[in-house]
Structure 1
Amino acid sequence: MKSLGIGEDECDSPDEGQANNLRDSIIEMDDFLQDPDNLDLGDEDSSDEEFAPSLYLRNVCANQCQLPEQSVDEAVLDFELPEPLEEEPHNLPAQRRVVSEEDLVGKTANITFNDNLLTLANHLSLPKKKCSHKDKQSGACPGARPFRVNLKPRGTGVILEWLCPFGHTVWQWNSQPTLKFGMQGGDFMLSMNILLSGNNYRKVALLFKFMNMGMVAEGTHFRLQDAYCIEPVQEYWEKTRVEVLERLHQKDHLVVLGDGRMDSPGHCAQFCTYTTIEQDSRDIVYIVSVDKRETSRNSVIMERECFTRTMDALLQELPIKEVVTDAHPQISALLNPERGKYKDWGIQHSLDIWHAAKSLSKRLLRAGSKKEHSGILVWTRDIVNHFWYCSKKADNEEQFKLMWVGVLHHVRNEHVWATGYCEHEPLDEDSGDKPWITQGSASHKALTAVVLEKRFLNLVKKFLNFRTTSDLESFQNHILMYAAKRMGYTPFVYKTRTLLAAIDYNKHNRRQAARNREGHKMYKRSYNKKSKNWSVGTVKEKKQYTYIPEIQTAILSRRIRSGTGLPRTVAMRAEDPRRLGLLAPVQPPPTSELVRVQVSRGNLIHGTPQEDATQ
């Protein structure tokens, strides 16, 4: 939705504001879908509920330039790569303890090879000439220089030991500063930043394995994450959300956009995350996650539960007058002005115009897939564009319907009728590039049934404000950077990762367009394989992530102020959904029993050698 189609003649820089204006766009569709020979017309009863036609938006006011291409990674992982540090001489540091947050946050680190460390250590001359070890029986150790250097890897760091000829430790040096109770600062920072950067422990551990580097233990990582990282991230999110709400309190009429996201496809989803964005500022004002166990293990009603929690919270904080969602029937029932839960709040419910256009195109393609209705296919793109035009221009429901039914006259070459007329320019006799549909034919009757469908016409009033939730679609794609759908997370870690995605989105929501050395805006092209369409988007300034040190400081402060070491076990929080039981509706049998049953079934199917012999 943020990109624009490009023409072929001009080469002026497009205006970003005009290019991103939804009202200056039209619907495009693959020509492939308009050819009846490309659809299976033999099975009239078959329908794919998951089929989505290749629709895309094209801006009618854009120009083309020779621009670089933009990859998906560049769009999501959009941050400034660090410049290589200049080599500077450093003195060998003494052993350091972490006593404050400044001792770790913002400090630079490097990859060091053990052989290089040993080479350096063997060329160092310690200030001690003799071993200082004393024993009650033998007295002082007679060991003297040269001392032997021993290297012991520990986590992501390494410990160097200088040993006298009798094996006594003369001096130790750790490559990392250490926290109280012995945890290495590098281990702590790595584990914390795996979470803050949206990475996965197993993938980072595999990277370290290939690099032959030490790694934080898996149990240590997850205990550290649960004990120190979750609450500071939640507190920081609430702090930034208060700042957003203070800005929005100045408005009398607020329009919010809402949409839900499941953590995995189908009915096997465990989490549903519902996000709400304010229409003008595009700031996330609320985000909530619900575990399947909180809805009696029924994933179908998770989005409704998320929406209810969202509205119950926001209506107490903001003067919301309009809510824009997709056509979710349970949410539509909650916002019903006569019988819904929020009928007393006077909230107007609008539907996403983009989803409505896609739904209309699916119904048209389904109707045109029958052989006798194939005349509809060549008009599908025009009909969807006519719906788009009616939604933009109509001021009320009656005006929309008068304009909308005109498509039934236009497709049969009738441009003036009793109740209206086509608003396009007069057509030349030889300008028609599509076959007209005959009135009363099977194709015209099928098209009439789609255009005048009662359920569709009842929703017209929800299209008139011409709203879209495209920014929410972009954010939900951004969540994948922090909470991948193919990874498993505990409920609070999953919630924390979605909050990190929301913080990232809000902090970088107002980035300006990047400019080249001449001061001109920079653009990049991208190619959509599905629609076979090139588009161009504005390159934004690189993300700075200036808020990360503040979160790091809060997490490290929680560890320092705790006064204890890393707990061996982490207590389950009172509101943890895991207290409600397992995700499965039945208790699992013992593993030994499952193995026994599995083995017996295998013997029953394939037979053992003894059974084959007796047979």
Structure 2
Amino acid sequence: MTGSVPSGNLLLSAAILFTGLLPSKALRFMEHINIQTITPNTFFQHQKHYLHPSICSVWKTFQDNYFQKMVESGKDLTIGGDGRADTPGHSAKFGSYAILDLELSLVINVQLVQSNEVKSSYHMEKEGFIRSINFIKEKGLKIAEIVTDRHVQIVKYVREEMPETIHHFDVWHVAKGLKKKLTALSKEKECERLQLWIRSICNHLYWTAASTPDGNGQMMLEKWQSVANHVQNIHEHNGDLYDSCLHGPLEGIERHKKWLEPGTKVAERLSDIVMSTQMKKDVPKLSPGQQTASLEGFHSVINHFAPKMIGFSYQGMLSRILLAALHYNENGMREHASTKEGNKRFDIIFPKYKKGEYTVREVKVECTYEYIERLMNSAVSLAEEYAMNSSTVLDDQPVPPPLCSSFERPEKTRAIQEKMSRYTNRAHENDECESSECS
């Protein structure tokens, strides 16, 4: 026994949650091979009284250590932020916002927002962002630079409420939207030749940011707009800071590319995209250095612990997101694996989005799970100190009311009667229709 709880039962529940398993599947697996095990209700009682508080405790310990070190160092933060909804579309119940220290590649804060805490699902990302920023400021740290996507509400908030912070856009998010527009244009009549240039134009956007380390917005804009001339074999431009291409004279194969003809439909439509108001706003704010690609990796880890096809309670979702953060922080910067001979290992994959083109990927060393040992020790300590029915075990974090709490709940018997009578009336209507057709 661990306190008032059978030790094996507690450790089984802890292992299920801490490894990201779903209790319904894990316990059903045990039943199918005739292993006596706990019931789902027992698992949820363990989760409520011991496992949730253990996760929050270990996460808080990590945060306290991190922020203490950062305060002592006196450095300003360079962070990245991105949101994630628990379901696709605009009908999400939960929205989480994660903040990543881009220099250390550590998730330092996660905020979970339920849709009834804000006006609608669309506003969850902004609310999560504001909570994260306020949390960091309360720790006495300053944010020198922040990298996000182009969420318009967040852009406005940073501009008005954080004037001392430099706000950059992640290049991948801008390139993603650009590629969609170019692909759609290449499918129009007389624009097919653009298909050959899509990859180069997107690469040029990345080069625009990477080749301007000082973040000069005007220089980046002129570099970007030069691509409209370059694809037409025009390499002199009207910019004040960037008046000619840097590639030098083109010779051989490079000189005989399938250039776009000036004045044609495809050239004009491409120029409209390159010179659009949206690009004029976005390109000068591209991040020349740090990006938020690591946050996309963190979101894939969340998908392991909290699959989007499964509905979780608020506390259940929060715990699984924090588990994902603990796992990412321990394994996000794994070293490059080597063979026995000492050679670096690589793998060739064929991503679906590349449509047949391959990618060479580094093979990392195996993941470690030291954080699970800390979680286990914390859960056992709580079980030894508190009984299962003790209210002091419960986490004191406020939980928003369920979404259905704002609706009037009908009496169950009456609701069933209305359902049955509705089907009865429809059956009578169908019988009358069939009788009239026969007559």
TM-score, length-normalised on structure 2?
0.88
Q: How many residues align?
A: 427
1:561 and 2:369 correspond = no
Confirm or deny: 8 A CA contact 1:244 1:283 kept in the other structure.
no
Confirm or deny: 8 A CA contact 1:293 1:583 kept in the other structure.
no
1:513 and 2:336 correspond = yes
**CA–CA distance in 2 between the matches of 1:613 and 1:404?**
69
Task: Give the match for residue 95 of structure 2.
Answer: 272
Residue identity matched to 1:211: I
Among 298, 308, 312, the residue aligned to 1:475: 298
1:380 and 2:220 correspond = no
1:458 and 2:270 correspond = no
Confirm or deny: 8 A CA contact 1:411 1:437 kept in the other structure.
yes
Matches within 5 A, 1:77-88: none
Among 407, 410, 413, the residue aligned to 2:227: 407
Confirm or deny: 8 A CA contact 1:254 1:320 kept in the other structure.
yes
Among 214, 232, 237, the residue aligned to 2:36: 214
Confirm or deny: 8 A CA contact 2:224 2:283 kept in the other structure.
no
Query: Which structure 1 residue ranges, 5 or more long, are not aligned?
Result: 1-177
Q: What is the Cα deviation at residue 350 of structure 1?
A: 0.3
Percent identical among aligned pairs is: 26
Structure with higher Rg: it is 1
Task: Give the match for residue 168 of structure 2.
Answer: 350
SS at match of 2:65: helix
Query: Which structure 2 residue ranges, 5 or more long, are not aligned?
Result: none
1:332 and 2:155 correspond = yes
Q: What is the Cα deviation at residue 576 of structure 1?
A: 1.8
SS at match of 2:358: strand
Task: Give the match for residue 313 of structure 2.
Answer: 490
Matches within 5 A, 1:412-423: 412-417=232-237, 419=239, 420-423=243-246
**CA–CA distance in 1 between the matches of 2:39 and 2:23?**
10
**CA–CA distance in 2 between the matches of 1:407 and 1:525?**
31
Confirm or deny: 8 A CA contact 2:52 2:395 kept in the other structure.
no
Confirm or deny: 8 A CA contact 1:259 1:472 kept in the other structure.
yes
Backbone CA RMSD of aligned residues: 2.7
Confirm or deny: 8 A CA contact 2:82 2:148 kept in the other structure.
yes
Confirm or deny: 8 A CA contact 2:145 2:167 kept in the other structure.
yes
TM-score, length-normalised on structure 1?
0.64
**CA–CA distance in 1 between the matches of 2:218 and 2:2?**
71
Task: Give the match for residue 551 of structure 1.
Answer: 375
Matches within 5 A, 1:174-189: 178-181=1-4, 183-189=5-11
**CA–CA distance in 1 between the matches of 2:74 and 2:348?**
37
Confirm or deny: 8 A CA contact 2:334 2:365 kept in the other structure.
yes
Which of the pair is proportionally richer in helix?
2
Q: What is the Cα deviation at residue 549 of structure 1?
A: 2.4
Matches within 5 A, 1:500-539: 500-531=323-354, 532-539=356-363
1:600 and 2:421 correspond = yes
Give deviations 1:481-515, integer Å, cap 9, x for gaps.
Answer: 21111112211121111111111111223433333
**CA–CA distance in 2 between the matches of 1:381 and 1:238?**
44
Residue identity matched to 2:398: E
Confirm or deny: 8 A CA contact 2:169 2:287 kept in the other structure.
no
SS at match of 2:78: strand
**CA–CA distance in 1 between the matches of 2:186 and 2:333?**
44
Task: Give the match for residue 225 of structure 1.
Answer: 47
SS at match of 1:540: coil
Residue identity matched to 1:498: I
Task: Give the match for residue 112 of structure 1.
Answer: none
Q: What is the Cα deviation at residue 378 of structure 1?
A: 2.9
Task: Give the match for residue 203 of structure 1.
Answer: 25
Residue identity matched to 1:407: V
Among 428, 443, 448, the residue aligned to 2:266: 443
Q: What is the Cα deviation at residue 613 of structure 1?
A: 9.4
Confirm or deny: 8 A CA contact 2:334 2:364 kept in the other structure.
yes
Matches within 5 A, 1:575-590: 575-578=398-401, 581-583=402-404, 586-590=407-411
Residue identity matched to 1:607: H
Q: What is the Cα deviation at residue 470 of structure 1?
A: 0.5
Confirm or deny: 8 A CA contact 2:190 2:265 kept in the other structure.
yes
Task: Give the match for residue 129 of structure 1.
Answer: none
